[in-house]
């Protein structure tokens, strides 16, 4: 197989359109390929990997998620916000051994904040409304997470002292209230 024939098969292989026989033929050729042929193959494989991202992004309905989770027998839950992966402006939780992991309490705040949405989801099947709420949910969840971290509530010293200060301030104002 010369270079040109090899590249023609490599292109079809990377696009996943070879028949089983052709694929086996190509894989044999690849195993015995020259460095130049191998390089051409790697380049085409890399190019083909980008093709899925050329599609128009669309979202399935929220019901699809529920159906899939039901099908695998997973407990139903609200969709998770994707801020952890994408929002690089959020500082990571400190991994100091003197710190507690308050990540779960973040989730608690997020769930509390979105109680209305979760309640709506369980009662209704209005796809449009649910999708709208879902959008708001993700943005608001990211906001709650950001505020939580900005206030340093993931640090125990802040998490313990702040409520104490607020309590004593309230007590002080209560005791000094003019009668």
Partner 1 sequence: MLARNLMAQVLRNDPKAFAEIYDRFNRLVYSVILNIVRSPAESEEVLQEVFVTLWSKRKEYDFSKSSPVTWMITLARNRAIDKIRSSEYKGTMKSSSIEDAPTFSSAEMDGENPLENALLEEKQKMIRQALQTLPQDQQIIIRVAYFEGLSQSEIAGRYSIPLGTVKTRMRLAMKKLYDLLKEAV
Which residues in this chain contact partner 1 in the complex, by CB under 8 A?
A: 4, 7-8, 10-12, 14-19, 40, 43-44, 46-61, 64-65, 67-69, 71-75, 77, 79-87, 134-135, 138-139, 142
45 contacts 14 by C-beta, under 8 angstroms: yes
**Which residues does 77 contact at the CB level (< 8 Å), separation at least 6?**
69
**Identity of the residue, 146 or 162, whose beta carbon is nearer to partner 1 in the bound complex:** 146
CB of 34 to partner 1, least distance (A): 16
Q: Say which residues have a Cβ less than 8 Å from residue 80's Cβ, sequence separation at least 6.
A: none
Closest separation between CB of residue 49 and partner 1, Å?
A: 7
Minimum distance, C-beta of residue 71 to partner 1, in the bound complex (Å): 5
Give whichever of 141 and 148 is closer to partner 1, judged by the CB atom: 141
In the DSSP assignment, the letter for residue 51 is: G
3-state class (DSSP) for residue 53? helix
Q: How far is the CB of 60 from partner 1 (least distance, A)?
A: 5
Q: Which two tokens stand for residue 24?
A: 């086996």
**CB closer to partner 1, 74 vs 165:** 74
Cβ of residue 32: shortest distance to partner 1, in angstroms?
Answer: 20
In total, the chain counts a number of residues equal to: 179
Q: Which is nearer to partner 1, 87 or 126 (CB)?
A: 87
List, in sequence order, the alpha helices (H) in the chain. 3-14, 20-31, 35-49, 62-71, 83-86, 103-113, 115-123, 127-150, 156-175
Question: Which CB sits closer to partner 1, 85 or 175?
Answer: 85
């Amino acid at each position: 197989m010369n270079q040109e024939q090899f590249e023609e098969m490599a292109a079809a292989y990377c696009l996943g359109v070879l028949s089983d026989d052709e694929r086996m033929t190509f894989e044999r050729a690849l195993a015995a390929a020259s460095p130049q042929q191998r390089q051409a193959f790697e380049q085409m494989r890399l190019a083909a990997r980008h093709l899925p991202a050329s599609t128009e992004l669309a979202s399935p309905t929220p019901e699809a998620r529920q159906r899939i989770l039901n099908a695998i027998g997973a407990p139903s839950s609200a969709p998770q916000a994707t801020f952890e992966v994408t929002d690089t402006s959020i500082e990571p939780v400190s991994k100091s051994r003197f710190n507690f992991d308050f990540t779960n309490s973040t989730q608690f705040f997020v769930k509390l904040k979105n109680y209305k949405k979760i309640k709506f989801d369980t009662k209704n099947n209005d796809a449009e409304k649910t999708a709208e709420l879902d959008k708001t949910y993700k943005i608001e969840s990211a906001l709650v997470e950001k505020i939580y971290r900005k206030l340093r509530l993931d640090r125990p010293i802040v998490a313990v002292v702040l409520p104490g200060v607020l309590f004593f301030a309230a007590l002080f104002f209560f005791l000094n209230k003019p009668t």
